[in-house]
């Protein structure tokens, strides 16, 4: 027993450097925004998940909108950085060079959106086209990825379209939680299998791990 006197009462919130606390809040916010959407999420829910008080969340980021923008920016950064790293990796030349690169990028993308916070923050941004600030970030982010595939990866137009389209279908099937009904409807698994193909084990592994963590 090293601080509270006896009962396991909620410990009086450790003092933690602001920079670190900031990261905790962003992690919490990613989860909460992902689950409830921008408008549906409350600063209080974020605070509870982060284990601190609601006013602290607000003071750290000024407004709820700023907090969301920061979450979104982080997600985009991780996506762009991940892609750029893979593109920069040395690769042997050959007929299937592009296919192989696309497969690697696809794998990295699935890895990323296994994090539901990231997946749903991105999708939240997509449907916020009407919001001047969020919408602009979404458009800019999408175009940055496009340019990366075109200029750095050297993909031809059809490969770009195919890659982006597959990504958006991944997004959707994971967002609607299709794996949740695998045992109610075998078509659900069939659709997932036909969509993710080799990557399916990757997805299902993560889903199973999440379920285990929840329990």
Partner DNA sequence: CTGTTTTGTAATCATTCAATTACAACATTC
Partner DNA sequence: GAATGTTGTAATTGAATGATTACAAAACAG
Q: Which residue among 8, 14, 132, 158 contacts DNA (CB under 7 A)?
A: 14
Interaction of residue 120 with its own copies, rule CB under 8 A: yes
Choice between 57 and 110, CB closer to DNA: 57
- Taking alpha carbons only, the member of 122, 41, 127 closest to residue 80 is 122
The structure tokens 């606390």 sit at 21
Range in contact with its own copies (rule: CB under 8 A) among 87-95, 98-106, 180-188, 204-212:
180-188
Q: Which residue among 27, 58, 86, 204 contacts DNA (CB under 7 A)?
A: 58
Give CA torsion, residues 6, 8, 13, 17, to 10 deg: 90
Q: Which residue among 48, 54, 112, 202 contacts DNA (CB under 7 A)?
A: 54
Range in contact with DNA (rule: CB under 7 A) among 8-16, 128-136, 156-164, 190-198:
8-16
**CA separation for the pair 173, 166 (Å, rounded):** 11
**CA separation for the pair 67, 62 (Å, rounded):** 8
Q: How far is the CB of 64 from DNA (least distance, A)?
A: 4
Please give the angle made by the CA atoms of 84, 129 and 156, to the nearest 5 degrees.
40
């Amino acid at each position: 027993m090293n601080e509270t006197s006896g009962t396991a009462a909620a410990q009086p919130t450790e003092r933690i450097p602001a920079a670190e606390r900031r990261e905790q809040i962003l992690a919490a916010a990613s989860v909460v925004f992902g689950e409830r959407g921008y408008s549906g999420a409350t600063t209080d829910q974020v605070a509870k998940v982060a284990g601190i008080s609601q006013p602290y969340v607000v003071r750290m980021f000024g407004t709820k909108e700023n907090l969301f923008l920061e979450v979104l920016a982080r997600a985009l950064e991780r996506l762009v950085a991940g892609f750029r790293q893979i593109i920069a990796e040395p690769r042997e030349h050959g007929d299937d060079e592009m296919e192989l690169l696309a497969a690697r990028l696809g794998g990295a993308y699935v890895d990323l959106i296994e994090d539901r916070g990231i997946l749903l923050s991105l999708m939240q941004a997509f449907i916020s086209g009407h919001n001047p600030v969020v919408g602009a970030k979404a458009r800019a982010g999408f175009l940055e990825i496009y340019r990366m595939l075109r200029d750095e990866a050297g993909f031809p137009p059809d490969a770009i379209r195919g890659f982006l389209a597959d990504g958006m279908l991944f997004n959707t099937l994971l967002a609607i939680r299709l794996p949740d009904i695998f045992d109610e409807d075998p078509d659900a698994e069939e659709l997932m299998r036909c969509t993710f193909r080799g990557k399916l084990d990757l997805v299902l592994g993560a889903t199973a791990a999440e379920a285990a963590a929840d329990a």
